[in-house]
Structure 1
Amino acid sequence: MLMNVVDRMGAQILRFRSASIPVQSARALLAAATLSVVLFTPWEQLTPEIAGIGRPTYCKPPVNLGLYCLDSTPDKSFAPWIASGVLILVTLGVVPALSSLLHAWVAFSISVGIGLPDGGEQVAQLVSGLVFLMSIDDWAWCAWVPNRGEVFNTARLSRYSAGIRWAGWLGLRLQMAYIYLDSGISKLSHEDWLNGSAMYYFVRDPSFGGSGIVGEVARWASSFDLGVAVLTWAPILIEIMIAVFLLGGPQRRKAAFVTSVLLHAGIIAVIGLWSFSLIMIAAVALAAFPGFRPTPVSDTQELERKEYAAIA
């Protein structure tokens, strides 16, 4: 019985496929969200001065390997250009195995190298590292081209890296499910969320509250008991639903993606937080859309055996 389970899992791993247009679209969105922070927010605003200390640095091992620590210019004028170049390469889909590694380094550099990282930067750091594992032997010239030529032949690599790619994807699904589940459940430890009044204060916050027509509608909806209760408890329920759906089959994972788009579109409309919301949507897409080759398991195993015999 145990051997049969192991065999089925091994066959599933061999059929795992992370290289696809939906995956590259999500990688591009993840990179574009970080790129918006790099291009439109100066380092001085990302790392403000502290009274009596000045502008702090965060360059102690191993953080000193980050891009912002390696940039010795006083205003960190060089690092954003390097980061932007890497993120553009990821968006263009150039050699995923290489660009995903550079993307992980840039995301790490931003998360640990600035003074005011938010949840989006931390999630981007984690997700980009797992995406590197998912792309570890994807040496295609361009991830956007369906019939892709490779930089070099990876027949030997593909056999041994299949488990790494699958483990990276599984780790991403578990991590994103945990993030949403923790976010949903932890809100219940705060009285304002538990009693259904939290969104009343959020939509009226002078810094993050809604503006324009959307803000007016949100303030109106939260001005009576039922409206503010729905606005407060709906995000909790949706986050828990996303977590559960991410652990299910392909259809449930697609439902998780659609639900996350609706949730974060609402956050953008009411509160803002563009880069954070886009990073979360991209992360859920990466967890939801990788799939498995339709080739029968027996044929796949036979093909792997022949390929290995030819190069051994």
Structure 2
Amino acid sequence: MGEEAARAAGLEPEVVYRPESAPTSAADTVAAAATLAGAVDLILFAGGDGTARDILDAVGTGVPVLGIPTGVKMHSAVFAVNPRAAGEIAASFSGLRDAEVMDLDEDAVREGRVSARLYGHLRVPDVPVRIQQRKTGSSSVSPDAVAGIAAELVDSLAPGELLVLGPGTTMRSIAAVLGVDVPVMGVNVLRLTDNRTAGLVASDVSADRLLALVSATPARIAVTPIGGQGFLLGRGNQQLSPDVLRAVGPDRVLVVATEAKVAALRGRPLLIDTGDDGVDREFQRYLRVVTGRRRTLLYPTS
């Protein structure tokens, strides 16, 4: 694991080659981390919540660790907010704290909710501004707030335009108000009809499929931040790629959230990490957040 990255960094690693029929697995991650635990002051690992669970199995709280976010989902509180922040933390941290290792609750997803399960704790550098918070579980969504948000979305669209809905319980509830049943995970595409309802165009689309759709038809994107973390783009909705965001245009990306979800951020900014610095800069401003019918607020991003 990591041979190409090591050589690119100018190192000459000793490599044990394995046959194609036996690719590396979670057991290899656990073994590598356990070997490092007695020899280093900080383990940095790249991945998502699954990798964080492997590191937890390997080292527990015996050695400090820090996650470099490269996975699809990162509900755990052991990851830097972006790769650059991970480097800054590794170069200058002093104190440590225990942070939660979370992963998606598959039973909750099957019930139509996005929730995370606690697996344990890891020791991480105590740099709150540069390390993300854990994802909080979904709470009940006010029907009145959802209906109001749905009405605002409809008002923003012309008949025939596409409405791209990011993942999450809030988005699934909005789709239901518009007469469409969509899965709670994944990105879904709706088309507005003449009677203020919508029809499903595509469900759980890939980034390439989504780019083809929004390049052919005018569209708006509606996204909601991850509860507790505040991530708006770049976590759990990577189908909204930089190419997709450029094709739609940043001014046609609508942020929606209940007032309770915004309040739970406690003033922390919404986070943007698409992997494209130019696209990220387009969103580094105060964004309009739709919280209900004719109810909006301005909220900062970072």
Structure with the larger strand share: 2
TM-score (norm 2): 0.22
Q: Who wins on radius of gyration, i.e. which is larger?
A: 1
Higher relative contact order (CA 8 A, sep 6+): 1
Q: Which has the higher helix share?
A: 1
TM-score, normalised relative to structure 1: 0.21
